[in-house]
Structure 1
Amino acid sequence: MRGTKRFRLARPIAAALGAVLLVGGLAACGNSDTGGDGGDDGKLVLGFSQVGAESGWRTANTTSVKEAAAAAGIELKFDDAQQKQENQIKAIRNFIQQKVDVIAFSPVVESGWDTVLKEARDADIPVILTDRAVDSADKTLYKTFLGSDFVKEGRLSGVWLIEHKKDATGDVNIVELQGTTGSAPANDRKKGFAEAIAADPKLKIVASQSGDFTRAGGKQVMEQFLKANPKIDVLFAHNDDMGLGALEAITAAGKVPGKDITIITIDAVRDGMQALADGKFNFIAECSPLLGPQLMDLAKKVHAGETVPPRIETEETTFTQEQAKEALPNRKY
C-alpha cells in the first residue's frame, strides 16, 4: 500500500516537472532563432563584410560604419576580407548561418556574386551593397546600392585635365594607376576618364596598370612607368594612396611632382588633400567614405520591409589647391 501511495503522489510532481522542462525547451528553441527579431537583446543585427584596409579611405570607411552602428544601437558583426573575394563569400555565408537581420558588403570585385546572394535571398536576409556595385543582371539579389558615381569621378578628372592642358602644344602623355583589377571603382573611373579625354586628341594614355589601390603598389608601378616612358606629362591615379606612393617614385627620379608631372587623384582623404594643398597634387575628385550613418538608416528600413531607392548616391565635390587649403582644417578623414 505504501508503495502504491508513493507512486500516486509522484505522478503529479513528475507531470509538473515535465511541463516546466517543456516550456524551458520551447523557450530555448525560440531564442536560438533570432533571424527576424534581432539579437538576444532585441537589437537589429547587421553583418558587414569590408574589402580590407588597403588605404586611408578604407580605414575611414570602416571607422564610419563601426561608429554609426554603435550610435544607432545596431549590433554589428564585422569581417575584413583582406581584398580577397573568397573571404567575402565565406563571410556572407557565415552571416547567413548566424541568421543576421541584414547583410551589407563592399564587393572586392564586380562579378561572381550570384550564387551567394541567392543563398541570402533564399534565407530571407536583405542585402545592401556599399561603396562598390556588382554586375549581376538579377537586381532582386540586393535591395539597394549606397555609394559614389565612379564614372562621374573619372569624367570630372578628365574634364579638369582638358581645361588644364588646353594651351599645351604637342601630345600630352598620361600614365594611369588603376585600382584593383575587376573592381567597380577601377573599371568605372577608367571608363569615365577615357570618355572625357577623348574630346581632346592630344591627350594620350601611354601606360595603364593596376597599383591595387595601395601606396606600395602606386610607388612600384610608377617606378616602372618612369623607366619605360621618358616623357610623362600627367599621372591619373584611381585613388590618393596610389598617388602618394607615386610621389616617392617621382621624387626619387629627380622630378618635381605637381610641376614636372601633373597629378590627378580620386578620394580626397586627409593625406591626399595635404599633398594637394602643398602643390604636389594638382586636382582631386572627392569620394566620401563616411557612409556609416546612411547605411544604418537603410538597414533599419529594409529590415522593416520599407521600399528604398535602388541606388543612393553620396554628395561629393572636387578640389583644387586653394580649395584643399580651405577645406583641410575641418576635414573629418
Structure 2
Amino acid sequence: MRKLMTVAALGGLVAASALAGCGDGGGGSGDSLTLGFSQVGAESGWRTANTKSIQESAKQAGIDLKFSDAQGKQENQIKAIRSFITQRVDVIAFSPVVESGWETVLKEAKDADIPVILTDRAIDSPDKSLYKTFIGSDFVLEGKKAGEWLVKEYEGQDDPVNIAELQGTPGAAPANDRKAGFADVIKAEPKFKVIASQTGDFTRTGGKQVMETFLKAHPDIDVLYAHNDDMGLGAIEAIEAAGKKPGTDIKIITVDAVHDGMQALADGKINYIVECSPLLGPQLMDLAKKVNAGEEVPQRVLTEETTFTQDQAQEALPDRKY
C-alpha cells in the first residue's frame, strides 16, 4: 500500500509539471515573459538612449528580451519579426523604420496570436487590429511647437525669414509628421519661406553634409529647423566652418533634447529644442505584461514631454539622464 501511495504521489507531481509546461505560451519558461524587440538602429544619440532604456527596463522587470538591430533597413526588421514569430515569443514590439509596408508580417503575428506593440513610431495601416497599442510622442505636435516658437521669435517683423529644413529619414513617421506640424503653423505668415529642405537621415554626418550644400546654394539662410538634435549638431559644424555663428547668424531649432543638443542649447549655439523622450522602457515593459495577460490597454499611449530655451537647458543639464 505504501508503494502504491508513493507511485501515485510521483504521478501527481509529473502531471502537475506537465500542466505547468502546457501553460507556457511563448519563448519563456514558467511565469517568465519573452519580448522580441526590433530597433531601428543606432543612428543618433536619441536612439542609443532609447535602446539602453529598453534593455535596462527589461532586466529590471524580469523580462527575457530578444533584441534585434535593423540597421535602418525595413527588410531587416521584417526578418526579425518573422524570427520572433518562429521563436514563439510572448509579445513583439518594434519601432518601425518607415510607416508603410507592414501589413503582411503583422498579419502573420496576429495569426500566430502574438500581440504587437508599436514604440516611438507609428505605421500608416488602416487596420488597427494588427497591433495592440502604440507608445510614443506626438510628432505633429513637436513640429507645431517648433513652428510656434519661430512665429513668436519673429513677431512684429515684416522682412522675409528664410528657413532651411533638415528632414529625417524619408518615409519615417517623425520626419513626415515633424515636417507637417511645422509647415501647418508657419503657413499663415507669408514672411516665412522654406528655401531649402532635404533629408539628413537623422545623422550628425548627414546634417553636416546637407548643411554645407545649403550654405553654398543659399548664403541668406536665417533659420535652420532640424528634425533631430544630431542633424542640428552636424549643421553647427558646417555653419562654423563657413565663418558664421550658429544661434546668432542662423537661429537653430531642433527636436529631441539629448545631452549634446542640450549642451549646444545651453552654449547658445541652438536657440530652441522640442523634447522627444527616448526613455520608453518602463512604460513598454508595463504594456507588454498587460497585453500578455490579456488586459485591455489604450490604443495610443503618449509620452510626457516639454520644450527648452537656453536658460532652461542650463538648469536641466546637471540632472539630464540622456
What is the TM-score when the length of structure 2 is the normalising length? 0.93
Q: Deviations over 1:110-137 (max 9, x none)?
A: 0000000000000000000000000001
Query: 1:60 corresponds to which residue?
Result: 49
Q: Shift of the alpha carbon at 1:37?
A: 5.0
* One-letter identity of the residue aligned with 2:154: K
User: Is this contact kept in 1: 2:27–2:87, CA < 8 A?
Assistant: no
Query: 2:8 corresponds to which residue?
Result: none
**1:279 is paired with a residue of what secondary structure?**
coil
User: Is this contact kept in 2: 1:34–1:99, CA < 8 A?
Assistant: no
* One-letter identity of the residue aligned with 2:315: E
Q: 2:303 aligns with which of 277, 289, 314?
A: 314
Q: Deviations over 1:163-201 (max 9, x none)?
A: 101133421000000000000000000000000111221
**1:78 is paired with a residue of what secondary structure?**
strand
Query: 1:258 corresponds to which residue?
Result: 247
Which structure 2 residues correspond to residues 1-333 of structure 1 after superposition, within 5 A?
A: 36=25, 39-40=28-29, 42-333=31-322
User: Is this contact kept in 1: 2:166–2:198, CA < 8 A?
Assistant: yes
Distance in 2 separating the partners of 1:169 and 1:297: 50
Aligned CA-pair RMSD: 1.9
Structure 1 residues without counterparts, runs of 5 or longer: 1-19
Q: Shift of the alpha carbon at 1:65?
A: 0.2
* One-letter identity of the residue aligned with 1:299: A
**1:284 is paired with a residue of what secondary structure?**
strand
Matched positions, count: 310
Distance in 2 separating the partners of 1:40 and 1:134: 32
Q: Deviations over 1:121-154 (max 9, x none)?
A: 0000000000000000100000000000000000
* One-letter identity of the residue aligned with 2:164: V
Distance in 2 separating the partners of 1:37 and 1:218: 42
Distance in 1 separating the partners of 2:66 and 2:24: 14
Q: Taking structure 1 as reference, are residues 124 and 256 closer, same or farther at Cα in structure 2, changes over 3 Å only?
A: same
Q: Deviations over 1:249-306 (max 9, x none)?
A: 0000000000000000000000000000000000000000000000000000000000
User: Is this contact kept in 2: 1:35–1:100, CA < 8 A?
Assistant: no
Identify which range, 41-50 or 224-233, moves more after superposition.
41-50
Distance in 2 separating the partners of 1:145 and 1:53: 21
Identify which range, 49-58 or 198-207, moves more after superposition.
198-207
Distance in 1 separating the partners of 2:71 and 2:24: 27
User: Is this contact kept in 2: 1:34–1:100, CA < 8 A?
Assistant: no
Q: Shift of the alpha carbon at 1:34?
A: 8.1
Q: Shift of the alpha carbon at 1:42?
A: 3.5
User: Is this contact kept in 2: 1:175–1:206, CA < 8 A?
Assistant: yes
* One-letter identity of the residue aligned with 1:115: T
Q: Shift of the alpha carbon at 1:40?
A: 2.8
Query: 1:12 corresponds to which residue?
Result: none
Structure 2 residues without counterparts, runs of 5 or longer: 1-10
What is the TM-score when the length of structure 1 is the normalising length? 0.90
**1:48 is paired with a residue of what secondary structure?**
strand
Distance in 2 separating the partners of 1:35 and 1:200: 60
**2:36 is paired with a residue of what secondary structure?**
strand
Distance in 2 separating the partners of 1:326 and 1:167: 30
Distance in 2 separating the partners of 1:211 and 1:169: 30
User: Is this contact kept in 2: 1:35–1:99, CA < 8 A?
Assistant: no
Q: Shift of the alpha carbon at 1:230?
A: 1.7
**2:231 is paired with a residue of what secondary structure?**
helix
